[in-house]
Structure 1
Amino acid sequence: MRSFTNFCETWFVQLKHLVNQLYSAPRPPSTPDQHHHLLQLVHKLMSHYAEYYRVKGLAAERDPLSILAAPWATSLECSLHWIAGWRPTTAFHLVYTESSIRFESHIAEILRGMSTGDLGDLSPSQFRRVSELQCETVKEENAITEELSEWQDGASELIGECGDIEEKIGPLVSVIKKADDLRLRTVRRVLELLTTHQAAEFLIAAAELQFGIRSWGENHDRLRTDV
């Protein structure tokens, strides 16, 4: 598990580098080259997330209990976890929040009929499709949660178990992989509903939320250790 923790540290540094590139790219893109460049950066960031879940899946196969304990995360991050990671429906709350913030900041331009092209300029069709996707994701979340609950209900069988305990723990690997698959798939499907400009803003906002929570968590853990 130490190897995955080391991977996470390197991966997080690379994430900051990719987000800085995305943040520095012209938005909205005003030329075909700028649009292509922004799209490539979005794809690179998504590939970076996909690599994280690929390596995490391999680590879960070796030690699912340690993955659930998430030793690479801060106490604050762990308190917010749903099956060793962020809850997929968080993506929709982020879309709505960012859309509201940006709409309010550009309300004068929007009322004059100007198009900002950012997350504050989502169309009724986009909102409808995001809402539909949210409903689908909630159902999948609930199904995976129920699967984990069923495993936890049988935890008493682990006590004094004479059989192969690894066989009892094995189903956790499937639960973790399903949760991570839903996380990655949700982001991909959200991005499909957005323009390239909006997709870039969404990924930046998601990363900034992740950076902020980690920073607060590190400060809290440092203060707790110093007491």
Structure 2
Amino acid sequence: MTSSFHSFYDTWFGQLKHLVQQLCSAPKPPTTPDHLRHLEQLVDNLLSHYSEYYRVKSTAAEHDVLEIFAAPWASSLERSLHWIGGWRPTIVFHLVYTESSILFESHIIDILRGLKTGDLGDLSPNQFRRVSDLQCETVKEENAITDELSEWQSSVSELVGASCTDVNQMIGRLVIVLRKADELRLKTLRRVVELLTPQQAVEFLIAAAELQFGVHSLGVDLDRQRNA
């Protein structure tokens, strides 16, 4: 199952690049109702793509969760950045703030003139407040899941000399922790998108994917250099 997940991931990653290309080529800002609906559909398509990834990953974890944690399909750099088998949910908020700051500075003259850009650099005070509230909520959930993993790791000595039933029960607990982490990743992504306009959501998702592509590409290059 995990080897098939590796193949699934390679295909999924390629499809992600295609979906992001569609986001990049979409008209921004949307100038007609059709353009707006098109952006909303592209956002839904990408979120569904992420949802499919976690659905298949959850099934693979039930067969071999340790292989999922090992993530042989990822580069060494990517694995070093993993939090419970994937990206840390709170990184989403750092990405929003960073992109907003960069775009705000690039449009500062227009903003001082009272012009609205409609992009991530034009987040409203209410949007900032809601993003901040969600960040605090996510930090709490993230910490709770981290504590669960720590408890599991603390009990690892019980595996020595344990029966197959006990080992399977412990591995089952690890599957649950991983599932909770993945659910939080997807939920955080969806809830941030809900706080944004379609144009802002597209910009955010492009930035998130480009970060993923960049880290992957750099990691592959570093692995290649080390193995040469």
TM-score where L is the length of structure 2: 0.98
Cα distance in 1 for partners of 2:86, 2:30 equals 33
Return the letter of the residue paired with 1:185.
K
Which residue matches 1:75? Answer: 76
The residue aligned with 1:224 is: 226
Partner of 1:111: 112
State yes or no: 1:57 paired with 2:58. yes
1:34-183 equivalences in 2 (<5 Å): 34-164=35-165, 165-183=167-185
* Structure-1 residue corresponding to 2:34: 33
Shift of the 163–3 alpha-carbon distance from structure 1 to 2, 3 Å rule, reads closer
Instruction: Figure out how many residues of one structure are paired with residues of the other and give that number.
Output: 226
| Structure 1 runs of 4+ with >4 Å offset | none
2-structure distance, mates of 1:133, 1:150 = 26
Where do 5+ consecutive residues of structure 1 fail to align?
none
Is there any run of 5+ residues in structure 2 with no aligned partner, and where? none
Question: Matches of 2:70 and 2:148 in 1, distance apart?
Answer: 18
Question: In the TM superposition, what is the alpha-carbon distance from 1:160 to its structure 2 partner?
Answer: 1.9
CA RMSD of aligned residues (A): 0.7
Residue 192 of structure 2 is matched in structure 1 by: 190
Deviations 1:88-128 (CA, angstroms, capped at 9, x unpaired): 00100000000000001111101100000000000010000
Equivalent AA in structure 2 for residue 222 of structure 1 = R
TM-superposed deviation, 1:170: 1.0
Q: CA deviation at 1:13?
A: 0.3
**Overall identity of the aligned pairs, in %:** 69
Question: Structure 2 CA distance, aligned partners of 1:37 and 1:188?
Answer: 18
Structure-1-length-normalised TM-score: 0.98
Q: How far apart are residue 162 of structure 1 and its match?
A: 3.2
Deviations for 1:110-147, whole angstroms, at most 9, x for unmatched residues? 11000000000000100000000000000000000000
The separation in 1 between residues aligned to 2:170 and 2:102, in whole angstroms, is 47
